[in-house]
Amino acid sequence: MVRIGIAGAAGRMGSRITALSKEYENIQLTGAFDRKGHQDTGKDIGALVGIGECGVQLSDSLESIIDNIDVVISFTTIEASLEHVRLASSKGKAVVLGTTGFGKGHIQEITGLAKKIPCMMASNMSMGVNLLLKVLQDIARVLGEGYDIEIIEAHHRMKKDAPSGTALKMAQVIADALDRNLDEVAVYARKGIIGERKAKEIGIQAIRAGDIVGEHTVMFGGLGERIEVTHKVSSRDTFARGALRAALWVLGKSAGLYDMQDVLGLK
């Protein structure tokens, strides 16, 4: 039995992970918390997420639940997630980290903290996207040079970071496959007299509208043909189930930083 604690349990992702945890007989929800001052602090989290009372109250800190859990699942904010990993690392607890938008310095810190604990970090926990990352690597390698690569992502209006962590991961995988430095070839927006497209550019464009859960299209545009690969998510439950699967997988692993490809055995 894996005892999980959910960070940001009142949020869009946290509430779905909390609700779906009930479906897993080898997962026990033993803690749930959100930010300090949250209006629902102290209320039963099961009732809050629509699965009926479960006897676990929404707390306002990881400190208050950490001794009672094996794995903390955090889909929150960058600063909050870093705090969660720091505390989990000092207490020897495993982490599933779904928050997106980390910079290089943050990832460096997380990598350091994961020397003491198993930590699974992924900007997208869906099976489909992780499979696609593998396929994109193959397409890029086979096509090689001569195809223009453009990534277009679309998300809901509330999303805070852009481009999405998934679009960046796709760009990174393709850049690695083609031996390009992403920092040098990424182009995030175009406007005005920009001249001809450079051959090695990897374009990444972000659309924000309404309640789109998450869509990514990668285009390989050649002369006379183009390949487009598209992934669309219609429900956050896809990510939530991935996070719960990761929580079952990560407990008992040796210390280190893992990703969803490890969880799904795609490496």
Instruction: Please give the positions annotated as active site.
Output: 155, 159
The mark string for 142-181 relative to ligand NAD (x by CB under 6 A, - otherwise) is ----------------------------------------
38, with CB counted inside 10 A (0-12, 13-18, 19+), is: middle
Q: Give 75 or 147: the residue with its C-beta nearer to ligand NAD.
A: 75
Q: Could you tell me which stretch among 48-56, 85-93, 123-131, 251-259 binds ligand NAD (CB under 6 A)?
A: 123-131
Residue 31: name the closest of 52, 8, 47, 11 by CA.
8
**CB 116 → ligand NAD: shortest distance, Å?**
21
Q: CB–CB of 66/6 below 8 Å? A: no
Q: CB–CB of 50/43 below 8 Å? A: no
Q: CB–CB of 9/58 below 8 Å? A: yes
**Site membership for ligand NAD, residue 125 (CB under 6 A):** yes
**Site membership for ligand NAD, residue 13 (CB under 6 A):** yes
**Site membership for ligand NAD, residue 75 (CB under 6 A):** yes
Q: What is the largest CA-CA distance in the chain?
A: 62
**Site membership for ligand NAD, residue 21 (CB under 6 A):** no
**Where on the phi/psi map is residue 31: left (φ > 0), alpha (ψ -120 to 50), or beta?**
beta
| Both tokens assigned to 213 | 């859960």
Q: Which residue is nearest to ligand NAD (CB)?
A: 11
**CB 230 → ligand NAD: shortest distance, Å?**
17
**CB 194 → ligand NAD: shortest distance, Å?**
29
Total residue count of the chain as it appears in this document: 267
Q: Give 13 or 85: the residue with its C-beta nearer to ligand NAD.
A: 13
Q: Give 129 or 185: the residue with its C-beta nearer to ligand NAD.
A: 129
Residue 246: name the closest of 153, 115, 158, 238 by CA.
238
| Both tokens assigned to 134 | 């593998």
**Site membership for ligand NAD, residue 119 (CB under 6 A):** no
Residue ranges in contact with ligand NAD by CB under 6 A: 7-8, 10-14, 33-35, 38, 75-77, 80, 98-101, 122-125, 239
